[in-house]
């Protein structure tokens, strides 16, 4: 496997992604969705009171990215994390293009690495677009007033912006973990529907488990726990244990899922 | 060589998983010892903020000397996520002792929603001294505490 080979795969996959309507729609939704949400909150009096920071939405625009973050954890992150990763490998099965790909001077390892890096890159890009758009929507539509945090402390705007940014950064490991899960589902099932749908179903199941007062060890080993680890950043004193825990768990999912997916791809009998 | 590396990776993954799982075993971390200090601090901070919003003379959060006693609403172990009731005793702005009761719903991740029972702290909206409407920060509020 050479770096040049991996870069060549990344270049081809990136141009394929750019031509797909699906990826453009996802990025457009990530960019426009928070603005629609913030405007809707601005023009009516009801607030999403059952969500953390929901009551503060009309008082500070800096609550908007945190409310969006809370909503996105349910199914948006698993979906945007798997929309590309869950399709990259199975699309070759669907179109019957594996044999064509492998007759080029690229090894399976290079193809795997290039495709995985593209999937991870797209997931991170989608989360980045959603984060930037949520913050911009809050500031532009509602305003940059101070924010009351989860310990009742009034955070000045600059401090709140820093915490909001860190909160969004804290979900990146879990998004990466879900992308690895989607890659595995895509390779194992050879179906794009399963590659994209299975991670979302697994995420919803994990979220349901988190509602139950079950063993703490199991809750902490769920990849979705990392999506809520940011709460500690908005408390006083702040606590970072759940973020570290989420990163370790996501790292384990990443390593195990990619190792299994790579092994399956290496041992697959692909006929011309 | 490759096999030995694979074994090392597998061993590392297993050891990390075991450490993570064993580290989280035991009783639920959601106990009165964690809820009460978190609720006391959050409530005191919110009272300080509310006093300022109502344009009353400022008072620092520690001066409210909030004490909370929490118990789980369901009989059995006094630990775990679910519905809790917390009694708060604190020093009001006029230095009188005030008692309030809150119903808490505590989630498994240590985040809770507290809603006051009764009308002792007013409704969801209050009138400031200048006549403007102010959201009652003490009517319903949220907070989080570390469960690790």
Q: Cβ contact (<8 Å) for B25 and A154?
A: no
Residue-wise pLDDT for A232-255, tens only, equals 999 999 999 999 999 999 999 999
Q: Give Cα A86 to chain centroid, integer Å.
A: 13
Q: What percent of chain B shows pLDDT beyond 90?
A: 53
CB A244 within 8 A of CB A234: no
Please identify among residues 49-88 of chain B the ones whose CB lies closer than 8 Å to any CB of chain A. 49, 80-82
Can you read off the two tokens belonging to residue A239? 């606590």
pTM reported for the whole predicted model: 0.89
Q: What is the SS3 assignment for B34?
A: helix
pLDDT for B44 equals 96
Which pLDDT tens digit goes with each residue over B4-23?
Answer: 444 554 555 455 555 555 44
- Domain assignment present for residue A271? The answer is no
* Alpha-carbon span A214 to A201, nearest angstrom: 20
In a domain, A272, yes or no: no
Mutation choice for B interface testing from A145, A215, A216 by most B CBs within 10 A: A216
Rounded to whole angstroms, the Cα distance separating A184 from A180 reads: 6
Dump the DSSP string for B79-97: -SSEEEEEEEEEE-TTS-E
Answer whether B90's CB lies under 8 Å from B65's CB: yes
A122-132 as b/e: b if 16+ CB within 10 A: bbbbbbebbbb
Chain A residue closest to B42 (CA)?
A151
Least confident of A39-53, A70-84, B10-24: B10-24
Q: Which residues of A47-65 are buried (b: 16+ CB within 10 A; e: fewer)?
A: bbeebbbbbbbbbbbbbbb
The answer to the question of residue A132 being in a domain is yes
**Average pLDDT of the residues in A174-184:** 95
- B69-106: per-residue pLDDT in tens? 999 998 778 899 999 999 999 998 888 999 999 999 99
Cβ-Cβ contacts under 8 Å for A143 (sequence gap 6 or more)? A60, A61
User: ipTM > 0.90?
Assistant: no
Q: How far apart are CA A123 and CA A162, in angstroms?
A: 22
Q: Domain tally for chain A?
A: 1
Q: Which residues span the domain enclosing A70?
A: 3-266
């Amino acid at each position: 496997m050479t770096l040049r080979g991996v870069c060549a795969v990344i270049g081809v996959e990136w141009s394929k992604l750019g031509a797909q309507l699906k990826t453009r729609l996802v990025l457009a939704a990530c960019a426009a969705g928070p603005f629609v949400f913030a405007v809707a909150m601005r023009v009516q009096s009801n607030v999403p009171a059952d969500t953390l920071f929901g009551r503060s939405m009309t008082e500070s625009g800096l609550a908007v990215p945190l409310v969006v973050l809370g909503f996105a954890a349910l199914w948006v992150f698993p979906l945007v994390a798997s929309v590309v990763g869950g399709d990259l490998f199975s699309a070759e099965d669907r179109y019957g293009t594996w044999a064509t790909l492998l007759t080029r001077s690229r090894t399976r390892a290079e193809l795997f690495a290039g495709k995985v890096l593209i999937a991870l890159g797209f997931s991170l890009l989608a989360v980045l677009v959603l984060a930037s758009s949520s913050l911009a929507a809050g500031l532009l539509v509602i305003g940059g007033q101070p924010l009351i945090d989860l310990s009742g402390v009034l955070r000045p705007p600059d401090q709140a912006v820093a915490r909001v940014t860190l909160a969004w950064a804290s979900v990146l490991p879990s998004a990466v973990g879900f992308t690895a899960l989607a890659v595995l589902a895509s390779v194992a099932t050879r179906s794009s529907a399963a590659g994209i749908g299975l991670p979302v179903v697994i995420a919803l199941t994990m979220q349901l488990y988190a509602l139950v007062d079950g063993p703490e060890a199991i809750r902490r080993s769920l990849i979705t726990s990392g999506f809520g680890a940011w709460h500690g950043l908005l408390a006083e004193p702040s606590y970072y244990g759940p973020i570290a825990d989420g990163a370790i768990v996501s790292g384990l999912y990443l390593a195990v899922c990619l190792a299994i997916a790579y092994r399956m791809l290496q041992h697959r009998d692909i006929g011309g | 060589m490759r096999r030995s590396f694979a074994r090392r990776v597998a061993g590392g993954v297993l050891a990390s998983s075991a450490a993570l799982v064993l580290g989280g075993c035991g009783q639920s971390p959601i106990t009165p010892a964690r809820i009460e200090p978190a609720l006391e601090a959050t409530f005191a901070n919110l009272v300080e903020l509310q006093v300022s919003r109502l344009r009353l003379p400022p008072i620092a959060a520690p001066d409210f000397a909030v004490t909370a006693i929490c118990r789980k609403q369901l009989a059995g172990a006094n630990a775990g996520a679910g519905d809790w009731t917390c009694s708060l005793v604190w020093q009001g702005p006029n230095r009188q002792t005030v008692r309030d009761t809150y119903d808490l719903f505590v989630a498994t991740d240590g985040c809770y929603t507290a809603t006051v029972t009764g009308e002792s702290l007013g409704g969801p909206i209050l009138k400031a001294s200048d006549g403007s409407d102010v959201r009652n920060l003490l009517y319903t509020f949220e907070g989080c505490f570390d469960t690790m």
